A and B are shown apart, each in its own frame.
Chain A
Amino acid sequence: MNLIIVGLNHRTAPVELREKLTFPAETPDGTNAICEPLKRLVSQYGINEAVILSTCNRVEVIGVAEDIVEGAREIKGFLSDYHDIASDKLRDHLYVHTGEDAVKHLFRVSAGLDSMVMGEPQILGQVKDAYGHAVLSDTAGVVINKLFHKAFSVSKRIRTETRIGAAAVSISYAAVELAKKIFGNLRDKTVMLVGAGEMAELGAKHLLSAGVKEIVITNRTYERAVSMSREFGGRAVMFREMVHYLKSVDIVIASTGAPDFIIKADDVNGVMRERKHKPIFFIDISVPRNIDPLINNIDNVYLFDIDNLQDVVEANLKERAKEAEDATLIVDEEISVFYRWANSLDVVPTIIALRQQFEKIRKGEIEKAATQLGSLSDKELKAIDAMTTSIVNKILHDPISHLKQEASSVEGDMLIDVVRRLFDLDGEEQEKKVLVMQSKYLLTGRGR
């Protein structure tokens, strides 16, 4: 199995170059645009199987070829031909991974371990899309199929077994995470938006999708509050009633242009008794600050300002880097699993296994016959043995010589895989799972 990955990413190439190399997923008229370059890779550049992964941070061609060195050169040539960029301009920015190294790279990319923001989940969807395009374009063969399905399951394992994606790495998500660390479940909580602002609205949106029950919006200009409440499906209230609402809401996001504190410690102290000391979470993303920092000293009141949230994001990134170490261990473990399968695609062990399988059947049948026929002489037994052996040899002769001949051809890996499956040389379960996954994938088209 000769796997090659040629590509560049945000670390090896500047954005000016990356944007020139992107493969848009759709043409302006809406048809699948990756189909054409994929087919060209296979028809003109001698690549057996190919996937193109193109995101804003990376462009990679994942290919299977007969010869690694030759294949890598062909893919490089394809990239420079297709985008019309001189190959010497590309050379310093491209990386090449082959064999086990390539498997590791793809596993890491899919799990977000190679992303700009460590552990971000979008990349997995992009890898799935890239694979879906290859399936639809008929450029995904047995190696690519197995490799990508393995990459998906590795990512899933990393997500469930490490906390790589658990901690928020944007300010608005960090606010949601904090709310969850205060309230647990957000389903019966109410959020109040004081003032407008891009970040406040984003935070409110995230809180809504995290399940908050209700959103109350207030603004110095009441009309603005009304128009925003339509957008969010919330309730607009008068600005002067804001303090009154502190009695009932659970999360307050403040971002007004006010030059001083609009929520003072005394206001909050006053409502805590009426709230029966239920916790309340203040998020102050306005500069200058709108909420008196002293309220953080009140029991069951939590306050985070914009700098605090930024610190949370940085702490989370550190936590993710720590989790990445565990994820790397999982990747290494899964590589060896994948390689056990890949090595089985060698022709010699397949032929041996095939012969053993037939020999087992032959021996079993002779035994059965011998008990049924009763006492047979040594001579008769020998004759039966010779006859059955020659039947098996004759049956296997053509398949084995074809296997030998075509093992190194374009369809070699597939042929070996088919033989192994037809004659059940690996045991059934594993293979069945892959087949089911593949058929599901083809049915949904994109696998998401």
Chain B
Amino acid sequence: MSNIFFHITAGAYFIATLVFIAYLVKHNEQLVKAGRYILYGGFAAHTLTLILRFAEAGRVPVASLHESLTLYSWLMVAVYGVVLFKYRMEILGAFVAPFALLLIITASFLPSEIIPLAPLLESYWLPVHVVLAFLGNTFFALACIAGIMYLIQDRYLKKRKIKGLYFILPSVEVLDDLGYRCLTYGFPLLTLAIISGAIWSEYSLGSYWSWGPRQVWSLITWMLYAALLHGRLTTGWRGRKSAIFSVAAFLILLGSFFIIYIIVGASHGLVK
């Protein structure tokens, strides 16, 4: 049953992406509205997918990469809705929709059967840790998107080329502000994810920290974002530099996430 809604979700995100791309070309306000509604429609199906999956598995669906990516994609669209409410930045959908679609497509290629969880990992810390981590990553993804939009708009203004996306992109200062705010949400969430992961590890494995590859990389990511936030707060790093940093940091985060997953699997290589 959850499978049907999964496909509906993928279909809706695909159509929304197409409509948003048409908006980027045509700049028609009706298109961006339509794209948003389709995305929300997909989100409803997405929510049903997660609920049904939860019922079928009898636990929070975060045990396999398929499940994690499905949750990540869902969080992405949910946070997009909240940001849109605060910022009225309609063009954001044109970046969020393809990203959510990409996550769903990747998930669809991965084995989707419900796998039993290692008894060692069965704990309330599981959903807490995973949701915190992916919520943090959602904000980092949005910071990256804001950074990309900033770099595009900055380039138009610097080259004085008044055409194309210039007309529909928001101002550089607003984009810079969005990027910064996303960091101020993402960073504490990542910190909490690492702490909750350590506590969980202590409960189930008997040690807070065991220098597994996921732990090492999450620490590296944490330090990258700490450096970026520090730079912004003290030396007034803003605009282009911090946008580039934000995009790079997210690419590192995303890359390390997949590479480590392929090498050591969902439980971070901590459970043999």
Q: Are B167 and A304 in contact (CB under 8 A)?
A: no
CB of A40 within 8 Å of the partner chain = no
Chain A interface category by residue count = 20 to 34
Bound-complex Cα distance A273 to B237 (A):
10
**B84 → chain A closest CB, angstroms:** 16
Q: At the interface with chain A, which of B24-32, B34-42, B52-60?
A: B24-32
Mark B143-179 against chain A: 1 for CB-CB distance below 8 A, else 0: 0000000000100011010110011011111100000
Bound-complex Cα distance A276 to B172 (A):
16
Tell me if A's interface is mostly helix, strand, loop or mixed: helix
CB of B241 within 8 Å of the partner chain = yes
Mark A201-219 against chain B: 1 for CB-CB distance below 8 A, else 0: 0000000000000000000
Q: Are A300 and B162 in contact (CB under 8 A)?
A: no
Mark A268-307 against chain B: 1 for CB-CB distance below 8 A, else 0: 0000010111110000000000000000100110101000
CB of B7 within 8 Å of the partner chain = no
In this complex, how many residues of chain B approach chain A with their Cβ under 8 Å: the count is 25
CB of A162 within 8 Å of the partner chain = yes
Q: Are B173 and A184 in contact (CB under 8 A)?
A: yes
Interface of A with B (CB < 8 Å)? 160-163, 166-167, 178, 180-184, 273, 275-279, 296, 299-300, 302, 304, 308, 311-312, 315-316, 318-319, 322-323, 326
Bound-complex Cα distance A183 to B238 (A):
14
Q: Ordered nearest first, which 7 A-B pairs have the shortest CB separation?
A: A276-B236, A184-B171, A315-B162, A184-B174, A300-B239, A277-B236, A308-B160
- A sample of 17 cross-chain residue pairs with beta-carbon separation below 8 angstroms, ordered by A number, consists of A167-B167, A180-B171, A181-B157, A181-B166, A182-B157, A182-B172, A183-B171, A183-B173, A273-B236, A277-B237, A277-B238, A278-B238, A279-B172, A300-B239, A311-B160, A312-B160, A312-B162
CB of B240 within 8 Å of the partner chain = yes
Cβ contacts under 8 Å, A163 to chain B: 27, 29, 167
**B226 → chain A closest CB, angstroms:** 20
Cβ contacts under 8 Å, A276 to chain B: 236, 238
**B228 → chain A closest CB, angstroms:** 14
Bound-complex Cα distance A308 to B158 (A):
11
Q: A162-B29, A181-B171, A302-B158 are in contact. Are A315 and B238 (CB under 8 A)?
A: no
Cβ contacts under 8 Å, B172 to chain A: 181-182, 279
